Structure 1
Amino acid sequence: LRGDDRHGRGPVVVCVDGSGSMSGGRELWAKAVALALLEIARRQGRKARAIVFSGPESALSEFDLTRSGRLRGRSQVDLDAVIRLAECFPGGGTDFEKPLRGALEAVREHSLQGADVVFITDGEATISDAFAQELRREKKKRDLEIFAVLVDDPQPTRNTARGDDPMARAARELGKVADRMTTVTELTSEAARELFRGI
């Protein structure tokens, strides 16, 4: 994750939820969004890293998706890393703070400015007020933006209809730190264009 592009923008760091509830179609959607973001980063000559996360008991899996050097002003994709990302699925629970800390450490480690972090999840977890404050300070200091993509279901379940909506709870927690938020079901709408235009 070294270096900024010619426009002074830092890398794209994509945090992908690999918890058990993401298996099947949700995992495919999340990784499709991650690969679309990789292509945007490549075209902009930016570095791209993916972080696959699950519960607090699981280690983060990190993948640098671009290699050093450019070809005609564009970043070069590391296909081996892309394949490892596609195959990575730890299962387990969900922890929001651990991957956000991992993304923040990647940005801090290389003193990068203008990075974009995209956080893709279907899960529920909490973000402590202390960590939210720390992250907001770092965002301001490093010109860092966080985008959240919630992997929802196009058809609401009976539990959702009764008001037991995990997406609402996830949105509430991620709203403490995210600059923008959308859902997978909105990815064909203006919300998707805004997300990808912002990056």
Structure 2
Amino acid sequence: MEEFKRKLKGVLEDIDYDEPIIEYRAEKLSKTFMMLFREKVNPNVALDVFYTWYLPKPEIKRNLDGETLVYNKVIVETLMRTEDYNRLKYKTVIDIDTSFSYTIIFIKKLMDLLRRETSKSKERGKGTQGLASILSYLKDVENKPENVSEKDFEKLKELINEAHRRAKRTAENIKELKNLMGGESAGNKPGSFVFGEVMEDILRLASSAYVTEILKYIKGISKTPLVDIRRETYPFKHGVYDGIEMGKDVLRILPKELILSDDVFFKKFVDSQLLLRRRVLSREQGPIYVLLDKSGSMIGDKTFWARAIALALMKEALKHRRKFCLRFFDYLPYDIICVKKGSRTKEFHKLYRMLLSLVSGGGTWITGAILTACKDLIEERVEGTSSIVLITDGRDVIKERAVKKGLKDAKADLVTVMIKGSNESLKRISKKYYVVVSSKNYSLKIVSPE
């Protein structure tokens, strides 16, 4: 950290650039940038961009400590003047993951755009020294921009806006991926999403246009309850308080009933009309088990829809503290991945990596996938009923008798979500059978065909 003590300066008020936490952030940003892109970054610029998004209300200093900080000021001022600054800031403020990921991607995109413009100017035989020196400054604090014209400053602002648009998408995707795994809940360690060993892959996933497309569909999925995710409860007089009911159990009686006259009290007692505290215990439930078809017939919109529905189900399962399991299948079942509330970031990364990057292709064997899921649930040995959610286009012949027996042995209900297809066998053996209907603006409706 010693290498930053001499160099760290910035343009933002209320930040002591000599503080250990500031030096730590500078070191982390620099090391991450080097690890991801194999090039250096000016820690002064990285810090100012990071705190522009991280702080609730950052302000720029009136008097700057050095002439090179004017470039930091241009970057920060331009970002603060973007049309969506306040809207995006709502997602980044006091959020290490989104602010950190935005900073890394923004500076990388800005460097790439400066290289592009420099290359274009060379081809046209125009001067490139101004933009090239700004690029050098972004890489190393020791490099001082020279011969930068007013035209270069205007071009820099234009490139900052373009880099912002690209980095914004990554930050928003990081925020959404965190929310899906319960990242906003109390007790989650801030920064674990991009600071851990999975950081490089998470940033690459979040920057992908394919992932952006899937996440857009999640927001538009109708709130149709595919499965009853909430925990089942049963009455137990020593359980947790769950409202009020009527009866004659004097051990659970409300205090207000004790002030009644004897005649009224005993009349209500005989008629079981006394107000009582209702007490319940939660019944153990099996996991929400999703089987996701990745066969060749699912290529295109079907893939986006299916994976968005699977992620929406995961979010609901974790919200209600149910275990969530996912298994892809084509002509063979793939490895199962399970997560639950409180799972390590590494486990979510494994699920995200498969769900958001596995390419559709191959044949289809739905019967084999369902029987494999039944076998998994039997080995789980969970009391109560589990739910198997099959997301498919239904292009296969189903062995109904074998599937019914497997579901009965596993004490599981089959819920089928049909995407641009139909299958009468699945309709007969499923407890619930839905079809997905698309409407405008990435909206998906999951409806019953009846």
The answer to whether structure 1 residue 66 and structure 2 residue 354 are counterparts is: no
Code of the residue aligned with 1:62 in structure 2: it is D
Counterpart residue number, 2:326: 50
Counterpart residue number, 1:197: none
Aligned counterpart in structure 2 of residue 109 of structure 1, from 366, 379, 383 = 379
Code of the residue aligned with 2:316 in structure 1: it is I
Report the CA distance between 1:8 and its aligned residue. 2.0
Q: Which aligned runs of 4 or more in structure 1 are off by greater than 4 angstroms?
A: none
TM-score (norm 2): 0.33
Aligned counterpart in structure 2 of residue 83 of structure 1, from 353, 364, 382 = 353
Report the CA distance between 1:82 and its aligned residue. 2.0
Match of 1:118, SS?
Answer: strand
Considering fraction of residues, name the structure with more helix. 2
**CA offsets per residue over residues 71-119 of structure 1, 9 Å max, x none?**
4xxx667321222222223511111111101110110011123211100
TM-score (norm 1): 0.71
Aligned counterpart in structure 2 of residue 14 of structure 1, from 290, 312, 326 = 290
* In 1: Cα distance, 2:370 partner to 2:391 partner: 11
* In 2: Cα distance, 1:66 partner to 1:136 partner: 22
* In 2: Cα distance, 1:118 partner to 1:145 partner: 8
Number of residue pairs the alignment of both structures matches: 161
Report the CA distance between 1:62 and its aligned residue. 2.8
Match of 1:106, SS?
Answer: helix
Code of the residue aligned with 1:61 in structure 2: it is Y
The answer to whether structure 1 residue 118 and structure 2 residue 118 are counterparts is: no
Kindly report which structure 2 residues correspond to 1:179-190, keeping only aligned pairs within 5 A, or say none: 179-185=431-437, 187-188=444-445
Code of the residue aligned with 1:175 in structure 2: it is K
- C-alpha spacing 1:26/1:189, structure 2 compared with 1 (3 Å): closer
Match of 2:398, SS?
Answer: coil
Aligned counterpart in structure 2 of residue 149 of structure 1, from 413, 417, 439 = 417
Report the CA distance between 1:136 and its aligned residue. 4.7
Contact 1:60–1:99 (CA under 8 A) maintained in structure 2:
yes
* In 1: Cα distance, 2:391 partner to 2:414 partner: 11
Match of 2:406, SS?
Answer: helix
Structure of higher CA gyration radius: 2
Code of the residue aligned with 1:131 in structure 2: it is A
Report the CA distance between 1:177 and its aligned residue. 2.0
Counterpart residue number, 2:403: 132
* In 1: Cα distance, 2:333 partner to 2:359 partner: 11
**CA offsets per residue over residues 149-193 of structure 1, 9 Å max, x none?**
0111xxxxxxxxxxxxxx33x2x02123210111111753664xx
Code of the residue aligned with 2:359 in structure 1: it is F
Report the CA distance between 1:133 and its aligned residue. 3.6
Q: Unmatched 5+ residue regions in structure 2?
A: 1-230, 232-281, 439-443
Q: With CA pairs under 8 Å and 6+ residues apart, which has the higher RCO, 1 or 2? A: 1
* In 2: Cα distance, 1:19 partner to 1:190 partner: 23
Code of the residue aligned with 1:178 in structure 2: it is S
* In 2: Cα distance, 1:190 partner to 1:101 partner: 26
The answer to whether structure 1 residue 25 and structure 2 residue 301 are counterparts is: yes
Report the CA distance between 1:129 and its aligned residue. 3.8
Match of 2:385, SS?
Answer: coil
User: Considering only aligned residues, what root-mean-square deviation do their CA atoms show, in Å?
Assistant: 2.5
Considering fraction of residues, name the structure with more strand. 1
Aligned counterpart in structure 2 of residue 178 of structure 1, from 403, 412, 430 = 430
Report the CA distance between 1:135 and its aligned residue. 2.9
* In 1: Cα distance, 2:289 partner to 2:339 partner: 11
* In 1: Cα distance, 2:372 partner to 2:304 partner: 23
Q: Unmatched 5+ residue regions in structure 1?
A: 153-166, 192-199
